[in-house]
Amino acid sequence: MATDEDLRRVALALPGTTEGTWYGTPGYRVAGKGFLRLRTEDGSGLLVLPVPDVGEKEALLSARPAVFSTLPHYGGHAVVLLQLAAVDAEELAELVTDAWRLKAPARLRRQLDDG
């Protein structure tokens, strides 16, 4: 079961990531672009996570409905809601890194890959 602290540790280990608030909730940005945030305003503990495209979104929603969900607000957008407690820290790291890659500039992606 992944925790808020796991999320923080993984996100801040990625090059160029900053922590702050986004829509009044905890969020993370890379090079000024938001790449994930926690939906704490409704007490849900859901992570708002970008995915590559709407097709990927639909695949995740169909394959793992206990883990991934959406809201009408995100209709037509390549974004899913991740139930943080439904994944382990290792899977969370993969998902967060993938989201970061979608928003990070090429130089930061190279920096991560060159490690």
Domain boundaries, the chain: 4-106
Q: What is the pLDDT along the chain (115 residues), one digit of tens a residue?
A: 898 899 999 999 999 999 999 888 899 999 999 999 998 766 667 999 999 999 999 999 999 999 999 999 999 999 999 999 999 999 999 999 999 999 999 999 999 999 7
What six digits make up the tokens of 107?
A: 């130089």
Q: What is the DSSP string of the chain?
A: ---HHHHHHHHHHSTTEEEEEETTEEEEEETTEEEEEEE-TTS--EEEEE-S-HHHHHHHHHH-TTTEE--GGGTTSSEEEEEGGGS-HHHHHHHHHHHHHHHS-HHHHHHHHH-
CATH number of 4-106: 3.90.1150.30
Prediction pTM value? 0.92
